[in-house]
Chain A
Amino acid sequence: MDIVVEHITKRYGPQKAVDDVSFTVKTGEILGFLGPNGAGKSTTMKAITCYLAPNEGNIRVGGISIHDDPQAIKNSIGYLPESNPLYTDMPVINYLQFIAKIHGIEKEQVRQRITEMVEVCGLEGEKHKKIGELSKGFRQRVGLAQALIHDPEVLVLDEPTTGLDPNQIVEIRELIRKIGKEKTVLLSSHILAEVEATCDRILIINKGKIVADGTASDLRKRAEGKEILRTGIHGGEEKAVQDALRGLKNVEMVELLARGENLFEVHSKVGQSSAKEIFDLCVGRGWYLTQLTPTETRLEDIFRELTAN
């Protein structure tokens, strides 16, 4: 089932939370939804899950429009909301039973589905505890279990790994990748490494608009042509070296990487290289180079560049 989002706009009063956003997620694809806080990620996800109705535009899930049959769409989506709300007074098992019933899973299958979910999400030891007694990591698993219980074709996960420890994050990511092979997955995050590790495609959204769309390597290519050099220069005062570097013709920005070690990150202007200038500078001042390494553009930099105000 594909998710097709067509020109949706969502206004909260005069403010546009989502502004003319369109994209498509295909079956078997994991799309990562990136953006700073308040960019419109959650609002878009809420629109897809039929919790909020967009002011303009249309969303189709598996060919069905949200305006025509929201109940059918809701039944084919597994959704993990941002703050992972749960009925804390219910035991895990009862909670999953309740969700299964709401999804209209047949009585004979409910038991089997729950056993499966408990196994997949690693809840075996906790299944009789009340949800309120569980740690955040386990609650997140319960949230994932409830999203998966009806074996949905589409999975919408709003920041699925918040509050988890590194081991759990790896587990959950693996689980998402496994699920993503046959299903349509849309996941949001503001952790770039996570999106890069899990997703096939990345969508960056800022102030309600899509600013980038492509695979991680696509996005890198966009930022290519901008040279970044990790530069170590000894033999001079740190401050003096930094100022001198800033004064070079092809240099756009100089960042001090480690105080006291004379290590800098030199960003060149687009299409220019500053390697020769740096070398000449050192020769001229009698300094010596300890390092001059070109670094790959990090996704963080692309993200910062696209979403900076």
Chain B
Amino acid sequence: MIIAGRELRSFFDSLLAYIMLIAFLGFTGFFTWLFGNGDVFFRGEASMDAFFGVAYWTLFFFIPALTMRLVAEERNSGTIELMLTKPVSDMQFVWGKFLSVFFLICISLALTLPYYITIASIGPIDHGAAWTGYLGTLLMSAAYISIGVFASSLSSNQIVSFLLALLIGIFFHLLFGMIARNFTGTLGNVINWFSISGHYQSITRGVIDSKDLIFFFSVIFLGLFGAEAVLVRRNLSSNQ
């Protein structure tokens, strides 16, 4: 997609992408290799668990920072009118935005492959779990990106978009899981189903279950359709 290409280029033009890559690699590298009771040497086993645990948290914070400007900035500068009067549909526009950040996350995850290779070379690693871990991380990122795009489409203020994305994100990330613990039976299960962490953990453990896939894809599509619906709503407001 052309829009995604433009966005991606503007990430790299604005240093944002570099800062994000360095910070991401730094954080994950630090916690995977050097620090804490989760790192590879402390545990003495060749596993990527520590890496995915850190990636789970860093991506949760980084993705809203990347997505916050996507639609909000266009709305603020008026370029959204320019784009949507080009032969681009609202949905293509939203997808372009989504894909640009998704590609950036793909690049940063690709740059962590050396971790995997080194760990694999120093001990027996569960290859299956490592690859599904990457898959899970990608799916989780995609879900947060789509939430971020949705949040960004709601406001023309980037800070508001950022906080909104975090707010929606924290529910999926943490709160649904915590709330679910207070309920038993079906209700607890239903709420727990909304928690990203459960689905993420089962995938990173090496189990690809269609239930988890359905969950991630429904969050992604819900976010993107939501963003499109917000764009269509411009017809009702008076200030656009």
Contact B237 A50 (CB under 8 A): no
Contact B85 A50 (CB under 8 A): yes
Please tell me if B78 contacts chain A, counting CB pairs below 8 Å: yes
Nearest-CB residue, chain A, relative to B234:
A52
User: In the docked arrangement, what's the CA distance between A94 and B88, Å?
Assistant: 19
User: In the docked arrangement, what's the CA distance between A83 and B79, Å?
Assistant: 9
Contact B79 A103 (CB under 8 A): no
Interface residues of A in 88-134 (CB under 8 A from B): 88-90, 94, 98-99, 101-104
Interface residues of A in 62-102 (CB under 8 A from B): 70-72, 74-75, 77, 79, 81, 83, 85-90, 94, 98-99, 101-102
User: In the docked arrangement, what's the CA distance between A85 and B80, Å?
Assistant: 8
Contact A85 B81 (CB under 8 A): yes
Nearest-CB residue, chain A, relative to B77:
A85
| Smallest beta-carbon distance A26→chain B, Å | 22
Please tell me if A46 contacts chain B, counting CB pairs below 8 Å: yes
Count A/B pairs, Cβ under 8 Å. Answer: 68
For A75, list chain B residues within 8 Å (CB). 87
Contact B87 A98 (CB under 8 A): no
| Smallest beta-carbon distance A147→chain B, Å | 10
For B234, list chain A residues within 8 Å (CB). 51-52
User: In the docked arrangement, what's the CA distance between A163 and B15, Å?
Assistant: 32
Contact B81 A102 (CB under 8 A): no
Nearest-CB residue, chain B, relative to A51:
B85
> Per a CB cutoff under 8 Å, which of B2, B10, B87, B236 touches A71?
B87
User: In the docked arrangement, what's the CA distance between A81 and B74, Å?
Assistant: 14
User: In the docked arrangement, what's the CA distance between A102 and B89, Å?
Assistant: 11
Contact B79 A102 (CB under 8 A): no
Please tell me if B186 contacts chain A, counting CB pairs below 8 Å: no
Given A51-B81, A83-B78, are A71 and B89 also a contact pair (CB < 8 Å)? yes
Contact B87 A102 (CB under 8 A): yes
For B79, list chain A residues within 8 Å (CB). 85-87
Contact B10 A90 (CB under 8 A): yes
User: In the docked arrangement, what's the CA distance between A90 and B11, Å?
Assistant: 12
| Smallest beta-carbon distance A88→chain B, Å | 7
Please tell me if B209 contacts chain A, counting CB pairs below 8 Å: no
| Smallest beta-carbon distance A48→chain B, Å | 9
Contact A104 B87 (CB under 8 A): yes
User: In the docked arrangement, what's the CA distance between A283 and B12, Å?
Assistant: 83
Please tell me if A309 contacts chain B, counting CB pairs below 8 Å: no
For A135, list chain B residues within 8 Å (CB). none
Interface residues of B in 217-240 (CB under 8 A from A): 234-238, 240
For B10, list chain A residues within 8 Å (CB). 87, 89-90
Please tell me if A15 contacts chain B, counting CB pairs below 8 Å: yes
Interface size class of A (residues with CB under 8 A): 20 to 34
Please tell me if B122 contacts chain A, counting CB pairs below 8 Å: no
Contact B238 A15 (CB under 8 A): yes
Nearest-CB residue, chain A, relative to B86:
A102
Contact A74 B87 (CB under 8 A): yes
User: In the docked arrangement, what's the CA distance between A149 and B172, Å?
Assistant: 45
Interface residues of A in 178-205 (CB under 8 A from B): none
User: In the docked arrangement, what's the CA distance between A146 and B236, Å?
Assistant: 28
Contact A81 B82 (CB under 8 A): yes
| Smallest beta-carbon distance B239→chain A, Å | 9
Please tell me if A166 contacts chain B, counting CB pairs below 8 Å: no
Interface residues of A in 131-177 (CB under 8 A from B): 146
Nearest-CB residue, chain A, relative to B3:
A102
Nearest-CB residue, chain A, relative to B88:
A102
Interface residues of B in 10-58 (CB under 8 A from A): 10, 13-14
Please tell me if A49 contacts chain B, counting CB pairs below 8 Å: yes
Please tell me if A260 contacts chain B, counting CB pairs below 8 Å: no
User: In the docked arrangement, what's the CA distance between A49 and B84, Å?
Assistant: 9
For B85, list chain A residues within 8 Å (CB). 46, 49-51, 74, 77, 79, 81
For B87, list chain A residues within 8 Å (CB). 71-72, 74-75, 102-104
Given A74-B85, A79-B85, A81-B78, are A89 and B14 also a contact pair (CB < 8 Å)? yes
Given A49-B85, A89-B14, are A102 and B2 also a contact pair (CB < 8 Å)? yes
| Smallest beta-carbon distance A3→chain B, Å | 14
Q: Please encode chain A, from 1 to 28, with 1 for each CB lying within 8 Å of some chain B CB and 0 for all others.
A: 0000000000011010100000000000
For A89, list chain B residues within 8 Å (CB). 10, 13-14
Please tell me if A53 contacts chain B, counting CB pairs below 8 Å: yes
User: In the docked arrangement, what's the CA distance between A209 and B81, Å?
Assistant: 24
For B3, list chain A residues within 8 Å (CB). 102
Please tell me if B127 contacts chain A, counting CB pairs below 8 Å: no
Please tell me if B181 contacts chain A, counting CB pairs below 8 Å: no
| Smallest beta-carbon distance A19→chain B, Å | 15
For A50, list chain B residues within 8 Å (CB). 84-85
* 28 A-B pairs whose Cβ atoms sit less than 8 Å apart in the complex: A15-B238, A46-B85, A50-B84, A51-B81, A51-B84, A51-B85, A51-B234, A52-B235, A70-B89, A71-B87, A72-B87, A74-B87, A83-B78, A85-B77, A87-B10, A87-B77, A87-B79, A88-B77, A89-B10, A89-B14, A90-B6, A90-B10, A94-B9, A102-B3, A102-B86, A103-B87, A104-B87, A146-B82
Top 5 closest pairs, chain A to chain B, by CB: A85-B78, A12-B238, A75-B87, A49-B85, A85-B79
